[in-house]
């Protein structure tokens, strides 16, 4: 019985010693997160809605004017979204290179 208590206490002391840190801790400077640049607010504007056709019949000239207006708005929106995509691709590539 006495031998069992001695072995149990010895095992407990060894287990407690194994849980402690035996090496010195190292002070590591905190890593600052990268500063993310923001895109121009003009690139984040919402696209224009399609032109309203109204209720009545349209003449050929009205249809062409509305089509030209819609086409110009669509191209402007397309170019703006391409510029926004390129901005993020360039920024992310710069972050990857800076690792």
pLDDT in tens, 10-54: 777 776 666 666 666 778 888 888 788 899 999 999 999 988 888
Q: Say if residue 66's pLDDT is above 90.
A: yes
Which has more pLDDT, 97 or 58? 58
Helices within 20-55 (DSSP H only): none
Cβ burial, residue 87 (10 Å; 0-12/13-18/19+): middle
DSSP category for residue 55? S
What is the per-residue pLDDT for 88? 94
- Which residue bears the tokens 């972050």? 95
**Is-above-0.85 flag for pTM?**
no
- The confidence score (pLDDT) of residue 74 equals 95
What's the pLDDT at 11? 75
* pLDDT at res. 98: 73
- Of 99, 83, 89, the residue nearest 34 (C-alpha): 99
């Amino acid at each position: 019985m006495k031998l069992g208590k001695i072995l149990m206490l010895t095992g407990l002391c060894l287990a407690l010693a194994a849980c402690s840190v035996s090496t010195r801790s190292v002070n590591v400077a905190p890593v600052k997160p990268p500063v993310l640049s923001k895109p121009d607010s003009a690139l984040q504007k919402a696209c224009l809605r399609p032109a309203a056709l109204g209720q009545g019949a349209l003449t050929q000239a009205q249809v062409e004017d509305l089509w030209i207006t819609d086409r110009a708005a669509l191209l402007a929106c397309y170019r703006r979204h391409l510029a926004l995509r390129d901005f993020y691709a360039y920024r992310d590539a710069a972050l990857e290179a800076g690792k």
